[in-house]
Amino acid sequence: MSRCLGIPDPTRAAGRSWGNLLKVIKAEIDVRWLTTTDRLLGDGRMFEETYAALAAMQNPYRNATMHLDHKYTEDEAQNLFEIVKGFMNRIADRMNENGDPKA
């Protein structure tokens, strides 16, 4: 997603954190699609929705798992798998793993 937006890969370890990457993505969305109206159509909508999905996953799923605060049941893991599957399908409809075509 960041490559599609033309955001360079972070060179420092601190820049590679989930929170920092989300901040950079959000800032780029805000620059490209200035108004709420701009974010209701086309790429503006797609990027706003995918950013929101990533931000929503950060604390309840990613952080709890990466910091070993939570262990999922099989049903919870299946639900999370379906969420990620839907997210990845949405991204794949717009771009490949290199971020092409660029936004």
Question: Which pLDDT tens digit goes with each residue over 38-88?
Answer: 999 999 999 999 999 888 888 767 665 566 667 788 998 898 888 889 999
Map out the domains of the chain as residue ranges: 13-94
Q: What is the pLDDT of residue 91?
A: 95
Separation CA 8–CA 87 (nearest Å): 22
Q: What is the pLDDT of residue 29?
A: 96
Q: What is the pLDDT of residue 47?
A: 95
Q: What is the pLDDT of residue 17?
A: 85
Give CA separation, 56 vs 61, 63, 78, 100, 102, in Å: 9, 11, 18, 25, 24
Please count the CA atoms within 13 angstroms of the CA of 65 that sit on its side-chain side: 10
Q: What is the mean pLDDT of the chain?
A: 88
